[in-house]
Amino acid sequence: MLTIRRLIEAKKAEREENGEAGFSLIELIIVVVILGILVAIAIPIIGNITNEAKISAAKSAAQSAATQWSSQLAAGGTPEAYVTGDSDLTVLPEGAAAGVTFPAAGTDPNAVCAEATNGTITGGGPTSFTAGPGC
């Protein structure tokens, strides 16, 4: 490291003597290498943050659906489909397949269990999360 520093200082002194301005090729290469290292570190971190956001969205959607269904059942109504606005996220009663009806009127609100699934979650972990008093 000391050798590189001496080389850079020597080249800088030489440029100053000759009246040249600007950066040397070595200085530019060092900057490019440092930027490459920073990018190599940042890309996996950003990917992990995105995956964590998808997991949090699925957990939140399951909890919101369970709360909505419980309150609608407690009011004596029939729960409606829970819509998240996220095309990758599906929220259903636990264990139900797409197109299955939601908890029926008269069902105990404490028995509600919602399941949210996001098939775009990566990393080998779970893609479905449940929430509600009946889980």
pLDDT digits (tens, 9 = 90+) for 13-29: 887 777 666 777 888 99
Q: Which residue has the tokens 């290498």?
A: 33
What is the arrangement of strands in the sheet containing 114-118, beginning at the earlier edge strand? Answer: 89-93, 114-118, 128-131
Strand stretches in the chain, DSSP E: 89-93, 114-118, 128-131
Question: Virtual CA dihedral for 29, 34, 37, 39, nearest 10 degrees?
Answer: -100
pTM for this prediction:
0.63
Mean pLDDT of 96-114: 70
Q: Which residue has the tokens 């009663």?
A: 93
At 43, phi and psi to the nearest 5?
A: -60, -50
pLDDT score of 37:
94
Sorted by sequence, the CB contacts under 8 Å of residue 130 that are 6+ apart come out as 62, 94, 113, 114, 115, 116
Domains of the chain, residue spans: 2-131
What SS3 state is found at 16?
A: helix
